[in-house]
């Protein structure tokens, strides 16, 4: 990213979202990826990895509450949580906000990203990295789960806050059937997987539908949903997956939020929960018609300029 007045985020090969730069707070490269923290005119401070915005100060609460809250609320009593990715610490912040959580295992391959975010983005993590319930590992998520041979270690909720699949980048093989099968093995019988599943805006939804179809090849129950993330340029897809899961009514969601949460939420509530799962007819049809299953031998990559 050049230090000029504008940062250009390539949403698709044919669409660019431009952000006026007030200040480049940090710019560098880790062992695995480029990292910038920019202060933008429209969205405040933004974390940028490999040229794509991951989080913005103005709307990160929408993304992170959408990613974390539905799974944490749907589970009857989440105590053990596994988080992959989420280096800025905001996903961890949302997990730790649930009063029932006793242990969180977080893995991220890039220690430098976490160190930089801890230093420059305190409003995102809000001290979550110092929480005594956290067990932090700097390792590839797939390698970590493969090496854990303790059959008694099962997680109530697993959250995958991974970057989009860019070729030859750390997360490129963590959006596959094989990885989802490994995740399923590490879930408790009533465990729930939650993940970000790429853009769901119409015309830019191909990765979203492929991820949903891949999840369906592994899990009995898959519930796709979406939320509008302005800094991402449109609608963004998520999914819950489980062998045993039921969606809750708005009233039950509100009751559980009231009894479990340590602080107020800004985005997620009962009506928002209901609305996120009401996909449009054309997007539902695209999911039904999707045939691709993403595998390690046939991975799927996003456009990268």
Q: Which residues are catalytic?
A: 161
The two three-digit tokens of residue 27, written as one number: 């710019």
Collect all residues with Cβ–Cβ distance below 8 Å to 258 and sequence separation of at least 6: none
């Amino acid at each position: 990213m050049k230090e000029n007045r504008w940062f250009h985020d390539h949403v698709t090969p044919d669409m660019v979202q431009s952000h006026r730069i007030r200040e480049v707070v940090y710019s560098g490269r880790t062992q695995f990826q480029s990292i910038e923290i920019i202060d933008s005119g429209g969205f405040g401070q933004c974390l940028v990895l490999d040229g794509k915005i991951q989080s913005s100060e103005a709307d990160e609460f929408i993304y992170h509450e959408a990613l974390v809250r539905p799974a944490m609320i749907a589970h009857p009593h989440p105590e053990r949580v596994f988080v992959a990715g989420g280096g800025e610490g905001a996903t961890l912040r949302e997990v730790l906000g649930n009063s029932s959580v006793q242990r969180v295992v977080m893995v991220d391959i890039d220690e430098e990203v976490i160190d930089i975010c801890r230093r420059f983005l305190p409003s995102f993590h809000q001290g979550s990295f110092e929480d005594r319930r956290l067990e932090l590992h700097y390792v590839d998520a797939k390698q970590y789960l493969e090496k854990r041979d303790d059959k008694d270690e099962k997680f109530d909720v697993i959250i995958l806050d991974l970057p989009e699949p860019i070729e030859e980048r750390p997360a490129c093989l963590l959006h596959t059937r094989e990885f989802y099968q490994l995740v399923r093995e590490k879930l408790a019988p009533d465990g729930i997987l939650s993940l970000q599943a790429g853009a769901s805006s119409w015309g830019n939804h191909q990765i979203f539908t492929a991820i949903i179809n891949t999840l369906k090849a592994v899990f009995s129950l898959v519930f796709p949903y979406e939320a509008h993330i302005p800094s991402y340029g449109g609608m963004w897809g998520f999914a819950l997956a489980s062998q045993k899961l039921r969606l809750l009514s708005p009233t039950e969601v509100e009751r559980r939020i009231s009894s479990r949460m340590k602080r107020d939420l800004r985005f997620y509530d009962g009506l928002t929960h209901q609305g996120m799962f009401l996909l449009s007819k054309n997007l539902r049809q695209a999911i039904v018609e999707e045939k691709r299953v993403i595998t390690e031998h046939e991975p799927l990559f996003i456009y990268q300029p």
